[in-house]
Amino acid sequence: MFSFGKSKGRYIFTEALRPESKEDDGNPSKGWYGIYPFALNEPVDFDALKWSLRQNERLAMVQADIGAYKDRELDDDALDRLDGILGWFADNGMEIILRIMYDRKGRGMEREPSGLGMVQRHMEQAGAVISDHADSIFVIQGLFVGNWGEMHGSKFLSDDKMCILAQTLLAATSYKCRIAVRKPQQWRVLNAGGICGADSGEIGLYNDGILASDTDMGTYAETFVDAGQYGASEEMWMKPWEKRKELEFQKSLCRNVPNGGEVVCDSTLNDFNNAAETFKEMHITYLNSQYDMQVLEKWKRSSCDGSGGKGWKNGYEWIGAHLGYRYVVKSAEILQKDRIKLQIIVENTGFSNIYEDVRIFLEIYDNKDLLKRIDIDSDARSWNPAEDAVMCVQDADLAGILEKDKVYGVFLGMRRKKDGCVIRFANEGASDTIRLGEIRIRS
């Protein structure tokens, strides 16, 4: 048996961890996004598009306007353009927030089809293309309808029609893509309607009126709706709730599905400290970097010392770095209790969880040579914000690879399972893996 200990036993571990950095970790599926609008009845200039990509952003909102097809099916040119657009962003290393819409001027009623069947047909046509690019699509926002495609101002948003459209879109994309709806109340309607995916992480939220008013521009009810317990009846479950209760709802739901959107209308509601606390409750994963510039510029002028951000350049930088998940290794040490093990503690300092399955592993190096890679049994999707995750590597995993009088480097790494993309830790000096320290055997 091994006999581990910091200063006792045959095996000695020396920790080499550095503190949390004051920079964005550069990880995928989170952060700021820019908007890239297209009309699918018009040619796309990909050469010009190349110069419009925003530096240091890993998400792109692709807005595909199909208003010209309100009375007819999408033609081959439209579908080819959609395929080319989605492929181009993927080829340029961007994950896509996709919004297909009939309207870009706030006149959804005029621009969308006259009947539900045509919307469904467009979903079926586009869905075949979208599913081919599912690996590069982070989320599909909305159900094609409403002003700006935002799921308000439409004749197709009654409870029954919304359920039909959500089910059509999920099926059209072969359940490969996550979708998002505009309000928590709409999510609850889909959940009550038995929509496949509502309870399995396939339906999230977005909010294009974050902190604009006490109701987030109609996202929540204006007043306390009922003196009884929220969710106590199906009728209550499917109504909009007042903001305090809706934030509690999102705090639970959005540990499992992403939430993002836009912060609009400069006011005290979206001052830095208020925004930071609200984002923690909403578990915000992504935000528009182009709108509302008055709010964003206010954050750039804000100090963040009062919100746990001491040492950061400004509030904008702090918020951007904490969108989504953010993992900091707090400690690594050898324990000798019931079983001998290397214990690693990681804190998620971000606003939300990660929503993709990842591989977590330990690497043992002899100088520059990798001796062994050990998979660690832990699901990072359960690493909740502001909580510690404890991982252990047992002595049996290290047996037979270490020699006396040698010092070995110990590193921790994470990779996204679907594509091998690196998930970096936010400690200073971390790269594709993080150096935990050194282990050696006493003579």
Q: Which one-letter DSSP state was computed for residue 209?
A: E
* Cβ neighbours for 197, distance < 8 A, ≥ 6 positions apart: 166, 170, 175, 179, 203
Instruction: Give the strand order in the sheet containing 388-394.
Output: 327-336, 340-348, 388-394
Count the alpha carbons within 13 Å of 266 in the hemisphere toward its beta carbon: 9
Alpha helix segments (H runs only) across 92-229: 108-111, 116-132, 159-172, 184-192
Average pLDDT score over residue span 7-31 = 87
pLDDT given at position 304: 81
**Structure-model confidence comparison of residues 74 and 5, the more confident one:** 74
Q: Are 81 and 114 in contact (CB under 8 A)?
A: no
Question: What pLDDT band is residue 341 in, cutting at 50, 70 and 90?
Answer: confident
**77 and 196 together in one domain:** yes
% residues pLDDT > 70 (the chain): 92
- The Cα-based distances of 371 to 301, 332, 400, 410, 428 in angstroms read 49, 20, 11, 10, 25
Q: How many other CB atoms are found less than 10 A from the CB of residue 221?
A: 17
Q: List CB contacts of 299: < 8 A, sequence separation 6 or more.
A: 272, 275, 314, 315, 316, 319
The stretch 18-26 carries a mean pLDDT of 96
Q: Quote the pLDDT of residue 404.
A: 81
Q: What is the pLDDT of residue 425?
A: 98
Domain match, 18 and 35 both: no
For residue 295, count other CB atoms closer than 10 A to its CB: 25
Q: Do 373 and 318 belong to one domain?
A: no
* CATH code, domain carrying 396: 2.60.40.10
Question: 167 and 190 in contact (C-beta within 8 Å)?
Answer: no
Those residues whose C-beta lies under 8 Å from the C-beta of residue 137, and which sit 6 or more positions away, are 86, 95, 96, 98, 130, 177
Mean pLDDT, residues 345-366 taken together: 97
Structure tokens at 418: 């679907």
Q: State the sign of the Cα–Cα–Cα–Cα dihedral 348, 350, 355, 357.
A: negative
Asked if 183 and 247 touch (Cβ cutoff 8 Å), the reply is no
The span from the first CA to the last CA of the chain, in angstroms, equals 16
Give how far Cα 25 sits from Cα of 231, 314, 378, Å.
Answer: 38, 16, 21
Same domain, 245 and 163: yes
Q: Kindly state whether residues 302 and 374 are assigned to the same domain.
A: no
- The side-by-side arrangement of strands in the sheet containing 358-366 is 11-15, 433-441, 407-416, 358-366, 369-375
Assigned domain for 2 exists: no
Place of tokens 């959940």: 191
Q: pLDDT tens digit string along 216-227?
A: 999 999 876 554
In terms of domains, do 413 and 272 share one?
no
Q: What tokens appear for 389 in the block?
A: 């995750």
CA 47 from centroid of its chain's CA atoms: 29
Whole-angstrom Cα distance, residue 131 to residue 175? 8
> Do 69 and 78 touch, CB atoms closer than 8 A?
yes
Model pLDDT for residues 293-334, shown as the tens digit of each residue: 999 999 999 988 765 677 899 999 999 999 999 999 999 998
Query: What pLDDT does residue 1 have?
Result: 32
**Greater confidence, 201 or 151?**
151
- Residues 154, 116: contact at Cβ < 8 Å? no
User: Which residue among 272, 302, 322 closes a domain?
Assistant: 322
For residue 224, tell me if it sits in a domain.
yes
Position 226 scores a pLDDT of 55
355 contact partners, CB below 8 Å, separation of at least 6: 29, 178, 201, 256, 257, 258, 285, 381
Confidence of residue 3 (pLDDT cuts 50, 70, 90): very low
pLDDT at 8: 45
**Which tens digit of pLDDT belongs to each residue from 39-65?**
999 999 999 998 999 888 999 999 999
In a domain, 84, yes or no: yes
Q: Are residues 384 and 314 in the same domain?
A: no
For 383-410, give one letter per residue: b (16+ CB within 10 A) or e.
Answer: bebeeebebebebebbeeebeeeeebbb
Tens-digit pLDDT profile for residues 382-422: 999 999 999 998 877 777 778 888 899 999 999 999 999 99
154-182 core/surface letters (b: 16 or more CB in 10 A; e: else): bebbeeebbbbbbbbbbebbeeebbbbbb
Which pLDDT does position 12 carry in this prediction?
Answer: 83
- Please report which helix (H) or strand (E) contains residue 288, including its range: strand 284-288
Q: Is residue 196 part of a domain?
A: yes
Residue 310 shares a structural domain with residue 345: no
Domain edge (last residue) among 290, 307, 322: 322
Q: Tell me which residue has tokens 């097809």.
A: 69
Give the model's pLDDT for residue 236. Answer: 82
**Domain harbouring 280, CATH code:** 3.20.20
Q: Are residues 80 and 91 in the same domain?
A: yes
Tokens describing residue 70: 């309100």
- Number of helices (H), then strands (E), in the chain: 12, 16
| Between residues 270 and 397, the one the model is more confident about | 270
Which of 4-13, 181-190, 391-400 has the weakest average pLDDT? 4-13
Are 387 and 305 part of one and the same domain? no
278 lies in the same domain as 341: no
Q: Is residue 69 in a domain?
A: yes
Q: Which has the higher per-residue pLDDT, 432 or 193?
A: 432
Confidence of residue 5 (pLDDT cuts 50, 70, 90): very low
Q: Choose the final residue of a domain: 287, 322, 357.
A: 322
Neighbours of 275 (CB within 10 A): 23
Lowest-confidence range among 39-48, 124-133, 254-263, 400-409? 400-409
How high is the pLDDT of residue 6?
Answer: 45
Instruction: Provide the domain limits for residue 345.
Output: 11-22+325-441
Residue 1 falls inside a structural domain: no
Predicted pLDDT of residue 397: 78
Same domain, 414 and 428: yes
pLDDT category at 4 given cuts 50, 70, 90 is very low
Residue 40, phi then psi, degrees to nearest 5: -75, -5
Model confidence at 228, pLDDT cuts 50, 70, 90, reads: low
Split at pLDDT 50, 70, 90, the class of 7 is very low
In a domain, 195, yes or no: yes
Number of domains in the chain: 2
Which tens digits make up the pLDDT trace of 357-390? 999 999 999 988 999 999 999 999 999 999 999 9
Q: Is residue 3 part of a domain?
A: no
Distance, CA of 360 to CA of 376 (rounded, Å): 5
Is residue 199's pLDDT more than 80? no
